[in-house]
Amino acid sequence: MKKVLSICLFEIRRTFKKKSAFVLMFGMPLLFTFLFGSMFGNDTAVSFRIALVDEDQTSLSKDIIHKLMLDEMITYELVAASEAKELLANKEVQGIVRLEKGIATKLRNEEPAISFQPSPGMATAPLVKQQVNQAMQGVDVYVEAAQVGSLYFNESWESVYERLTENEGQIQVWTEQKTSTSTGNPMMGISYSSAGFSIMFVMIMMLSMTGILLEARQTGIWLRLFTTPVTRLQVMLGYFLSFFIVGWIQFFLLILLSSTLFDVNWGSPVALFLLVTALLLCVVGLGIAIAGFVKTVEQQNAIGTLVIISTCMLGGVYWPISMVPDAMQKIANFVPQTWAMEGFTTLITEGGTIGDILMPIAMLLGFAAIFLSVGLSRMKAV
């Protein structure tokens, strides 16, 4: 046990000797949190201001406008075309949504009837577009229903549409659906980014930590260790413990810093501790697994960074996962970050307790078990 601790403490000292470690561990995540977080505004739901131009001026277009305006994430300003241009030029709105003339015909022919023009160079353009599209999907459903209905009732589809939408209850259903899909992540902004970038940079840090195993191989330190009377188990435990502790120090300080700098409230400490522990096990496991398949530290870095960045994207680390198509959301279930983010959002926004995050914790531990067993068996083979 003494030897395990010696190895562990030595590696921790070695890690914190590098100045670059501090930048990677704390500087970068805080910077990214700040940049991304402020882009989305404060912790309230994201709000975009969009100019809305009604060129059609029919009851249908008015109805669509009414539905668009129900959306929580986007604030629409109903304005004339010229004014819209001006607002966009003055950067007072992030884009213009235009309901084109003859919208009824166009919709029926499945031609594009609504155009979106984002403000040039706006980083969040895809997000807004996504949001507008989502709002439009609801309208589409009614249009389709009205079309089918018009065949049956032998009347113009506009009147069927009107009758359909007159029914408050149905509109209610529609709006409820909309809100329920977005309540999964009403948290955006700083809190969301804090959790996301803490995860990402802890992963990157753990990747570089597990690189120690490869480095030791390359430098002959690994072999020399085994000329001394230490066992394989002691060496692996020592390394593992050092990865884990460094990961914990990083997470703990990030939590501390983000709650003082950005007022992020991370929720129940005990639940947070368990969640972070499960996440670290999983992330260290991933690092070891990757290390098991490559020969050099450089290879591990290249492959690992690729894996981390892409899975972070899938797992909703940069933006809420509800913003991506359904198929992607399904794939995301196979990415540990998804579960980590779910756990963190539950704790941060809903004041969740341990009971609420059992599922994310279990999933993370499951990933950890898979990664660790793959990694350790590869380590043995090499």
Partner 1 sequence: MLTLSNVKKGFGAHEIIKGISFQVEKGESFGLLGPNGAGKSTLISMICGLLPYGAGEILINGKLVGRHLKETKQIIGVVPQDIALYPTMSALDNLIFWGRMYGLSGNTAKTRAKEVLEEVGLTERAKGRIETFSGGMKRRINIGAALMHEPQLLIMDEPTVGIDPQSRNHILETVKTLNEQGMTVIYTSHYMEEVEYLCKRIAIIDDGKLIVSGTQRDLSNRLAGGRVLKLTVDSLRPSFIEQLKQLNGVEKVIVQPAEEIDVHLQSEMEIVSDVILLASRSGIAIHNMQLKEANLETLFLQLTGRSLRE
For partner 1, the binding residues (CB under 8 A) are: 2-3, 6-7, 10, 13-14, 17-18, 219-221, 223-230
Nearest to 206 by CA among 11, 9, 376: 11
Q: Which is nearer to partner 1, 224 or 295 (CB)?
A: 224
User: Burial of 195 by CB count in 10 Å (0-12 exposed, 13-18 middle, 19+ buried)?
Assistant: buried
Q: Which is nearer to partner 1, 163 or 224 (CB)?
A: 224
* Rounded distance between C-alpha atoms, residue 72 and residue 175, angstroms: 10
Nearest-approach distance from CB 209 to partner 1, in angstroms: 15
Exposure b/e, 97-120, CB count within 10 A at least 16 = b = bbbbeebbebbbeeeebbebbbbe
Measured in whole angstroms, the distance separating CA 253 from the mean position of its chain's CA atoms is 21
Nearest-approach distance from CB 216 to partner 1, in angstroms: 9
Q: Which is nearer to partner 1, 22 or 153 (CB)?
A: 22
Q: Which is nearer to partner 1, 183 or 219 (CB)?
A: 219
Q: Which is nearer to partner 1, 7 or 314 (CB)?
A: 7
Contact 81, 55 (CB under 8 A): yes
Nearest-approach distance from CB 299 to partner 1, in angstroms: 20
Q: Which is nearer to partner 1, 3 or 106 (CB)?
A: 3
Nearest-approach distance from CB 242 to partner 1, in angstroms: 13
Nearest-approach distance from CB 339 to partner 1, in angstroms: 36
Q: Which is nearer to partner 1, 79 or 225 (CB)?
A: 225
Neighbour tally for 82: CB within 10 Å: 9
Nearest-approach distance from CB 85 to partner 1, in angstroms: 60
Nearest-approach distance from CB 43 to partner 1, in angstroms: 41
